[in-house]
Amino acid sequence: MIAARSARATSSPGYAITTLSALGAEARAWDALSARAGDAHPFYGRHVMQAHAESGLASPDLSILVVRGPGRIEALLPFRISYDICGLGRPVALPFVSPFITATAPLVAAGPERPAILATLVEGLREASGGRPWRWPLLASDALGRDLMAAMAAAGWAQGEVARFARPVLDRRVDHEAFLEGHPHRARLKDLRRRRRRLAEGGTVTHAVATGGPALAEAREAFLALEAAGWKGEAGSAMACRPAHATFARALFAETAGPVRVRADTLRLDGRVLAVSLALLSGGTAYLLKTAYDEAARAQAPGLILEAEIVRALHDDAFAERLDSATTGDCVLESLYRERETVVEVVAVPGGGRHVVSLDQRLRLARLEGEARGEVKRLLRRR
């Protein structure tokens, strides 16, 4: 537990450390922060974090840095202290991640108070880590990510980039025709239309959307079954193969009335489920977190056909302003989505990097680790 700096009624915000279980008792205040956080990602919202807790993927005593203003929560970040190669075995601090979290920016209220909130958050980050470095993966280089890095720099932190990648995203146009106009991969779109026509030769193709009730539960269970029946099931990595992951899926993709909502899109042929996409909606963005398809119909690319249907629905129904592929690497949506969001991994060191291990050394070690993991993945793909 760290020393806390309390918020006074008429002054700047203060910070403290709490736990996941304790913060869960402040459901209304937590949801209110998510609603006030503008275009923030959903992964540190109450619904997602409590799904982690219900499934055992997050401990009830998981530490959460909380910034409070008068009568409300202004920011929060779940985190942990761990041993890391970039510290030569010494402890470092990291935002909480799981296999189902694809963004790690803190949840921060939007508005003119944000600079003061971030300054307090950075002060709390230093205390939370005991002055140790932070290794921060999956940080989008959007306005919040840049503002967070600027607040660290203003507080004298040294920072360096370990790696980056471009995540496909899609901003809604005025209509679907505007999306198609000048698309850089028109041949790919033509191929998808051809595949859909061939699919329709075998029966009636339908696209259905569920956001709650029995239809949402049915779509979720269809997803679990499809994923388990494919190569992920054979490899033992499908969500249904791991009890904790199956519990997480059922807790996460369930009807919710809070600021983080759920959407399931299903592609069927004569009623037979061919593909299911499960998404989280937050701050005007739909995060397409999970997709599974019937591998027996692989030649017709039902997963990509469904993604194209979701793009059309985005423009026809305006259910969001942006689609986020929620990928952590290469993605088949690169030929469909027109925009890119840069996602970085950084190491940030309080006190200007004056530690036994220099910032440059930490970055080199972290990059070597990343290269080794990439090589392992390539070898597994070959096998």
pLDDT attached to residue 38: 87
Q: Is the pLDDT reported for residue 351 higher than 90? A: no
Please compute the mean of the pLDDT values over residues 162-173 and round it to a whole number.
Answer: 96
In the chain, alpha helices (H): 20-24, 27-36, 46-55, 114-128, 143-154, 176-180, 186-200, 213-229, 231-235, 243-252, 302-317, 359-382
Rounded to two decimals, the pTM is: 0.92
pLDDT attached to residue 377: 65
Q: Is the pLDDT reported for residue 329 higher than 80? A: no
pLDDT attached to residue 9: 44
Please compute the mean of the pLDDT values over residues 277-302 and round it to a whole number.
Answer: 96
Mind listing the pLDDT tens digit for each residue in 47-91?
999 999 999 999 999 999 999 999 999 999 999 999 876 666 678
pLDDT attached to residue 2: 47
pLDDT attached to residue 12: 73
- 379 pLDDT tier (thresholds 50, 70, 90): low
Mind listing the pLDDT tens digit for each residue in 218-262?
999 999 999 999 999 999 999 999 999 999 999 999 999 899 999
Q: Is the pLDDT reported for residue 134 higher than 70? A: yes
Please compute the mean of the pLDDT values over residues 111-131 and round it to a whole number.
Answer: 96
Q: What is the DSSP string of 197-236?
A: HHHHTTS-EEEEEE-SHHHHHHHHHHHHHHHHHSHHHHHT
pLDDT attached to residue 184: 93
Give the whole-angstrom CA distance, residue 301 versus residue 274: 10
pLDDT attached to residue 1: 42
Give the whole-angstrom CA distance, residue 118 versus residue 103: 18
pLDDT attached to residue 125: 98
Quick one: DSSP state of residue 6? P
Domains of the chain, first to last: 14-165+345-382 (3.40.630.30), 173-320 (3.40.630.30)
pLDDT attached to residue 91: 87
Please compute the mean of the pLDDT values over residues 83-111 and round it to a whole number.
Answer: 89
Percent of the chain with pLDDT over 90: 81
Please compute the mean of the pLDDT values over residues 298-306 and round it to a whole number.
Answer: 95
pLDDT attached to residue 86: 66
Q: Which of 56-70, 131-145, 223-237, 365-379 has the lowest mean pLDDT?
A: 365-379
pLDDT attached to residue 84: 77
Strand partners, 160: 347
Q: Is the pLDDT reported for residue 8 higher than 50? A: no
Instruction: Label residue 254 exposed, middle or buried (CB < 10 Å: 0-12, 13-18, 19+).
Output: middle
Please compute the mean of the pLDDT values over residues 199-204 and round it to a whole number.
Answer: 94
- 216 pLDDT tier (thresholds 50, 70, 90): very high
Q: Which of 98-107, 192-201, 219-228, 368-377 has the lowest mean pLDDT?
A: 368-377
The sign of the torsion formed by the CA atoms of 339, 135, 34, 259 equals positive
pLDDT attached to residue 10: 44
- 369 pLDDT tier (thresholds 50, 70, 90): confident
Average pLDDT, the chain: 92
